[in-house]
Amino acid sequence: MPSLVRAFVRASTLSVAIGLVLMPATTAFAQSPPAADAPPAATPPSDPQPQPPAQQAEPRAAMLDVVRVRGLQPTSLPTRIPTTTAGITGAEIIDTINATDAEDALKYLPSLLVRKRYIGDYDHAVLATRASGTGNSARSLVYADGILLSNLLGNGASFTPRWGLVNPEEIERVDVLYGPFSAAYSGNSVGAVVDYVTRMPDHFEAHAKLGYSVEHFDLYRVHEDYPATSMDASLGDRWNRLSAWLSVSRLDTQGHPIVFANLPAANATPGTGIPVTGEVPGSNPRNQPWSLVGATGQTHSVQDQAKLKLAYDLTDTLRLSYVFGLWRNDVFRDAQTWLHAADGTPVYSGDVELDGVHYLLPPSAIALQRADQQHHIQGLTLKRHSGGAWDYVLAASRYDYATDVVRSPLLALPDARNGGAGRVADSHGTGWTTASAMATWRPSVAHVVDFGAQDDTFRLRTQVSDTADWLHGAAAARFSTFAGTTSLRSAFLQDTWTPSPRWTTMLGARLEHWEARDGSLANATSGFGFPRRSEGNVSPKAAVRFAPDSDWSIKASIGRAVRYPTVSELYQGTIATDAIVNNDPNLKPERSVTSELSYVRNVALGHLRVTAFHEQTRDALYSQTNVTVTPSVTSIQNVDAIRTSGLELATDLMGVGSDDFDLSASLTFADSIIEQNRNFPASVGKWQPRVPRWRANLVGTYHPGQHWSITGALRYSGRQFNTLDNSDTNSYAYTGTSPFLVADARVRYRVDEHWSAALGVDNLSNRTYWNYHPYNQRTWNLELRFDE
């Protein structure tokens, strides 16, 4: 505990020191800046009339240090904290982004990347941030109207935020808070906190959209078109104090293959087999020769979403809200072989010979898969938002895997298409619950104190069973199970003070108690339980903002974050010879200290921000091979130290060259290095996986008149690696992680106040690029909208 107190004192001292250094400069300025860090004004819930457009869209030049969004509903993020934020409105999304999924709203925001491999990618679309790659899903938090969508049951590609519970058409705005600088959020906020604010009506509304997309995928021996269709409809209205919103959608998508069966040259063995042809020779990411022999994971997904939101204004300042969301997904993942025998018969498995060299191709290499999923989310919120001396929020939510069944065959193709023996993985009973009570006290206009308590529980239950019919059969004998529960109980206090128009300071601390329990792992014949464990930590936060006038400001922030191990990291493993061989229930939590210093400048047409950031992480959680033991063990382990330093530039300009052209751009440099790793020394001095040195976005939108908007955009990501020792130097290969420069375009035409249409294209240059799996190649999008 003394070390934690010292950390808090150091953070507080930094805030004071920056203030003392800059204080003399205040005497040279007489102008007072705008109250940029004040909380957004609330629209009285009882007012059934929307604000006029002039009040919704103030010029960006007057928005120094403010989230770049405009709308009626205030964000749940603490925007008054003097630290880096960004955002986008729903109207801007419709105008500028080919948004087929909710995560597309983040496509052009600074330093963010979502690993979306195809339209409707429901299980691998991980959010990456400044110092965290797309393999670290537990290092960011995603909310919808304050309800947790992040899947903190695990960390990695299989534990992505539940994007499907948000329809792009219902988004009012999206706000992002960079870094762990608010005490109101757990250590999973070390990368960023994202909040989707969705629509609630103050008068009758009706919306409908039809969308069609098509990708022509041309890679190896796959030359196919993969279409996607979407249908969305929503209705909302307000009756005095009651408002309601109902939305439904369907996304029917065909995704390109994401997995390519391969036979490494190193796996050649003595023997004989069927001579085959059709393979694609090449090199793997380590530049070792292999032959690609088939494509799997060609995903046909039909996703249905429905959401009901109700709000009742008990008084003009007190609102009770309820939301129920349903997401259903019916998935079939197809496969194809490229190998053929001399008589033309396709070959899917067995002993084969490629140019006289013998290999064993297992049935699982080119295989099918089915999934049936139905997830529910519910949330209840009581919120007082008066802007007076006291406000508060009481909230509870539940995310439930009502149905989550994945089916896989044991038989090889083509026989597996007709059923037969297989396995069924059932995750029923999995989910998470959250509860929180938070209050805001304003002893004066210049002084705001936030405090509260939270209780989050994550429960994972998975059983894999044998079945006689993998397509439709019931689960039979147990093959394996793993289960566990983690909980995080926390309290926080955060004091934001504006002692003068030029200064804003924030001091905060978060007290956490984490517990892991009910851990178990079993195979068909034996099982193991794990003892309960718990840990507590204090995470201090501090920030300061100095704004001598309305033209520029400087902001500095520092925060400690503790990211605890997830259930999957602790308990998912394998049993061999009656012993657990690849998990560690005693993993340490990640501990990060993040700091940033920003300069924000108002310019004639908008603003410019320059941010220097630094993050030092101890005991980072990664899957790696421990080479210091015999035999070596590959599992989730603690990497001793990772250091990330970088610089971020971002600008938003309106009326560039003419009043009709808007421009936004960002550039991020991140030097992320593994400094210590006793279990895998070869990784020391290497780049952190999937964190490139350079990222950049450039978006320009032209409005030639009231009916048209034309957008062009560029997305860039530099060289990166997928392995801790950076041995995957061939980035343009399956399982590689490649740099890319991608161009997008969108043209939207508003026929009248009700009808509009849009034509867009992503990856205009048809670039093939990888993040382990291939991203989409050139994809065309067509939309027709009706708004009442």
DSSP secondary structure letter of residue 109? S
> Using CA of residue 682, residue 685, residue 687, residue 689, what is the dihedral sign?
positive
Domains and CATH numbers, the chain: 2-290+318-787 (2.40.170.20)
Task: Share the mean pLDDT of the chain.
Answer: 89
Taking Cα atoms as reference points, which of 351, 355, 354, 349 lies closest to residue 337?
Answer: 349
659: helix, strand or coil: coil
Residue 706 CB-density burial (10 A; 0-12 exposed, 13-18 middle, 19+ buried): exposed
Secondary structure element (H or E) that encloses residue 568, with its range: helix 567-571
CA geometry: angle at 628 spanning 156 and 562, to 5°? 40
Model's pTM, two decimal places?
0.90
The Cα 563–Cα 535 span in angstroms is 12
Beta strands in 24-170 (DSSP E): 85-89, 113-114, 127-128, 141-144, 147-148
Number of H helices, E strands in the chain: 4, 40
Q: Which residues of 575-608 are buried (b: 16+ CB within 10 A; e: fewer)?
A: beeeebeebbbebebbbbbbbbebebebeebbbb
Taking Cα atoms as reference points, which of 65, 170, 42 lies closest to residue 548?
Answer: 65
The Cα 492–Cα 513 span in angstroms is 12
Query: Is 415 in contact with 396 (CB distance < 8 Å)?
Result: no
Structure tokens of 310? 């109700």
DSSP secondary structure letter of residue 67? -
> Using CA of residue 688, residue 690, residue 692, residue 695, what is the dihedral sign?
negative
Which residues does the chain have with pLDDT short of 70?
Answer: 1-75
DSSP secondary structure letter of residue 267? G
pLDDT of residue 573: 84
Q: For the range 434-439, what are the long-range contacts, defined as Cβ-Cβ under 8 Å and sequence gap of 24 or more?
A: 434/147, 434/148, 434/395, 434/396, 434/397, 434/398, 435/395, 435/396, 435/397, 436/393, 436/394, 436/395, 436/396, 437/392, 437/393, 437/394, 438/184, 438/392, 438/393, 439/390, 439/391, 439/392, 439/393
**Is it true that the peptide bond before 631 is cis, omega within 30 degrees of 0?**
yes
Structure tokens of 141? 């938090």
pLDDT of residue 74: 58
DSSP secondary structure letter of residue 343? T
The Cα 95–Cα 747 span in angstroms is 8
pLDDT of residue 328: 97
CA geometry: angle at 489 spanning 483 and 492, to 5°? 150
The Cα 504–Cα 20 span in angstroms is 13
725: helix, strand or coil: coil
The Cα 613–Cα 595 span in angstroms is 6
Q: Residue 470, Cβ neighbours under 10 Å: how many? A: 22
Structure tokens of 776? 């989409």
pLDDT of residue 685: 97
